[in-house]
Chain A
Amino acid sequence: MSRRSLIAAVLATAVVTAAVSVSVTRLTGQSARPTRTGDGKPNISGVWQVNNEANWDLQAHDARPGAVTQQGVYPYAYAQVPAAPVLALGAAAIVPGSIGVVQGDRQIPYTAAAAARKTENGAHWVDRDPELKCYLPGIPRATYMPYPFQIVQSSNKIQMIYTFSNAARTIHLDTVAGPPDDTWMGHSVGRWDGDTLVVDVTHFNDKTWFDRAGNFHSDALHVVERFTPISPDALRYEATIEDPKTFTRPWTIAMPIYRRLEPEVQLLDFPCIDFTEEFMYGHLRRQQLVKHWESDTMAVDIRRKVPPGEQLFDWYGK
């Protein structure tokens, strides 16, 4: 390549880069996003969200007709029907299938006792999953809940703020000793390994879950997360999970995280403490509204009056 053509190539590249920057700015309405911060680190500030089914189940799974199902005509798991808590929602309650996010052999290496516990958790999902009570989601689950989260990247702290439950964590890039107690969201200490943000998370309690399938851990949980930019608008997220009380070896999940490109994107209020009061305390009301106790059984009233003019019900005579 001659010197002149080299110069032409450099200039052409510069023009194209400039044009691309301009078009991205126009498209998203956000101010131009440098791919690097002033101190040369990848710039990961912004609003992000995964686009997968990991919160339903980290492992590969079939679609199923409802978040809660019961036996149908056949005694097969694959032929279950939606159960009462979600029946009224029709197709809106369907759980999508997934190829899973567990790396390697796709297995979660539970000890025998923990495997039994996981199965039991899945069967009692409605009663046990801390998500349903709006409890703090923990790490790594907060990352792949199906809502946006925001990264505020400073020089020695990175704040991650999650829509769900208005949860948050501070990732300390400087030295801060852990809290004198265990926590829901863990104690996060980060460092840059080249272009990868590596976060070491400890000081967990045993109360959070990994997903709605009942995957769980003990207070010996130790998570190492890796956030690696694969483009200005996508990160590869990897979390290695270690917990000798629950698993026979460390295991890893991985998934992309995408930047929310809407020009006016921002985290909005998700007041689930308020919104879950009926779920949690409804049966303790003086006058029941939706749920109540019948002896040792909790009953949820899903009776619905079909409005006149609803064509399908009119057609088959209700």
Chain B
Amino acid sequence: MRKRLLQVLGVVGVILAVIVLVKVAPAGSATPGPGTRTAWGDPDLQGIWTDEYQTPLQRPAKYATKEAFTDEERAELDRQRAAILRRDQRVEVGSERDVAGAYNAVFQSIKHTGKRTSLVVDPPDGRIPALTPEAKQRADTDRQFRLALLQATQTCKDGDAACAGGKYGPPSPRRAEVAPFYNTGRLNRSDGPEDRSMTERCMAAVLPDFGGYRRIVQAPGTVSIFYDVGQGQGWQRVITLDQKEHLPSTVHQRFGDSRGHWEGNTLVVDVTNFSPKSDFMGARENLHLVERWTRVDAKTLEYAVTIEDPTTWTKSWTVKQEMNRQDEQANRIYYEPRCHEGNYGLPALLSGTRAEEAAFAAGKGPDPATKDSATDFGTEGGVDALTGGG
């Protein structure tokens, strides 16, 4: 009897093992490479990852139909880019332009030139699709307001590129207006925190993100990603794998609502429910992402995202990048975003502006409306062919 019981238990054990194996092995998956499966059999995306190469988001016009650089072209581009002085070159110490260049070359680390001429892989021309008429209208309305706030500044007097489309003149009455849309960039005004950029408010992170570092930790049914986006800013994301339905449409989140599932070796994530306060290149609450995360080999993670918002772009577009596994020891500081905890800059911008207003009212200083705290100068040393900046 005991032998029979053991036999029965043994059979049950085998059946259970088969069931478990069948359940775990994803349909159609290739043979897993070494070190690319978790202990419980899911594709292993874990580790610290970043794109080590610089690739323009959109293909610069001069490269037209050229999709990839040759090794020689990359070496030549690296040589040219390294020669740019960037912000080490100071102009008129103490001027607005000088202060705007406070982050010098030390903060402007540059990456080697990547293989491709654009991160955008679809459309095939490597360019972000055209804006819809309503998005163009929004962008124009926003631009006109920004230009009005710049109107009385030296930037417009000098005809700087930052004032293109605007004019120089006395302070605009529009300075008293509420911004036409919830502001996420730098306005040339500091009436309150909402006039300053999301970066200055320590809320710069957006999804999708193509820079920075990410740490992925998985458990069965869950993938967590911590994003370090630079400037001491970052955020923690949790992707639920076992729930198909998104949050109710009345719930909005800065980074949307992520629902994932495995397709073979690929983690596919659908993201909706964005907040009107989140701003990815002008797309807000109607943004919809479909991400595909694939562990290609021990050192490489491929990330592809299809970006859709029918109120912003005339068609969807797709970005693809390869991320490289990073050393844990070398990156052990990169997981505590504490920009907000040390944000003396934002209150200083506000209180400084209040002091300037008081001085102006007392006839002891210039009209704050004539000063520029919005323009990001800093291309004195030349323009980087891949990033556009100096």
Chain A interface residues (CB < 8 Å from chain B): 3-4, 7, 30-31, 37-39, 45, 130, 133-136, 150-155, 157-159, 161, 166-170, 176-181, 183-185, 207, 264, 266-269, 271, 273-274, 277, 280-281, 284-287, 289
Contacts and interface: CB of A to CB of B under 8 A. Distances in A.
Given A3-B2, A135-B341, A157 B217 contact: yes
A201 B236 CA distance: 20
Interface stretch (B92-100, B153-161, B237-245): B237-245
B39 A155 contact: yes
Contacts of A136: 336, 338, 341
Which of A7, A169, A266, A267 gathers the greatest number of chain B CB atoms within 10 Å? A266
B332 A38 contact: no
Nearest to A186: B336
Nearest to B240: A266
Contacts of B46: 154, 157
A268 B273 CA distance: 12
B225 to A, nearest CB: 9
A31 B221 contact: yes
A181 B333 contact: yes
12 contacts: A7-B5, A31-B242, A136-B338, A150-B222, A154-B217, A168-B335, A170-B215, A177-B329, A179-B332, A183-B336, A185-B336, A286-B191
B130 to A, nearest CB: 32
Interface residues of B, number: 54
A179 B277 CA distance: 33
B226 A38 contact: no
A115 B333 CA distance: 33
A153 B219 contact: yes
B191 A152 contact: no
A188 B243 CA distance: 30
Given A168-B236, A281-B346, A158 B217 contact: yes
B226 A159 contact: yes
Given A31-B242, A168-B335, A268-B251, A287 B191 contact: yes
Interface string B186-204: 0000111100000001110
Interface string B221-249: 11010100000000110101011010100
Nearest to A181: B333
A168 B357 contact: no
Given A176-B332, A287-B192, 9 more contacts: A30-B242, A152-B219, A177-B332, A264-B245, A266-B247, A267-B238, A271-B254, A274-B277, A277-B193
A37 B40 contact: yes
A157 to B, nearest CB: 5
A299 to B, nearest CB: 16
B224 A161 contact: yes
Contacts of A168: 224, 226, 236, 335
Nearest to B348: A284
B332 A178 contact: yes
Contact of B253 (A177, A269, A280): A269
What DSSP secondary structure best describes chain B's contact surface? Answer: loop
Contacts of A169: 335
B335 A152 contact: no
Interface string B323-342: 00000110011011010110
Contact of A161 (B1, B202, B238, B341): B238
A135 B253 CA distance: 20
A133 B346 CA distance: 14
A192 B141 CA distance: 59
A155 B38 contact: yes
Closest A-B pairs by Cβ, 5 of them: A284-B350, A269-B253, A159-B217, A168-B236, A45-B219
A207 B219 contact: no
Contacts of A39: 39
Given A31-B221, A179-B332, A273-B202, A280 B347 contact: yes
A309 B328 CA distance: 63
B277 A269 contact: no
Nearest to A266: B240
Contacts of A267: 238
Contacts of B235: 166
B328 A176 contact: yes
Contacts of B277: 271, 274
B354 interface: yes
Nearest to A156: B46
Nearest to B336: A183
A151 B38 CA distance: 17
B180 interface: no
B236 A166 contact: yes
A277 B329 CA distance: 35
B192 A286 contact: yes
A154 B5 contact: no
B262 to A, nearest CB: 14
Nearest to B220: A45
B205 to A, nearest CB: 10
Contact of B243 (A264, A277, A286): A264
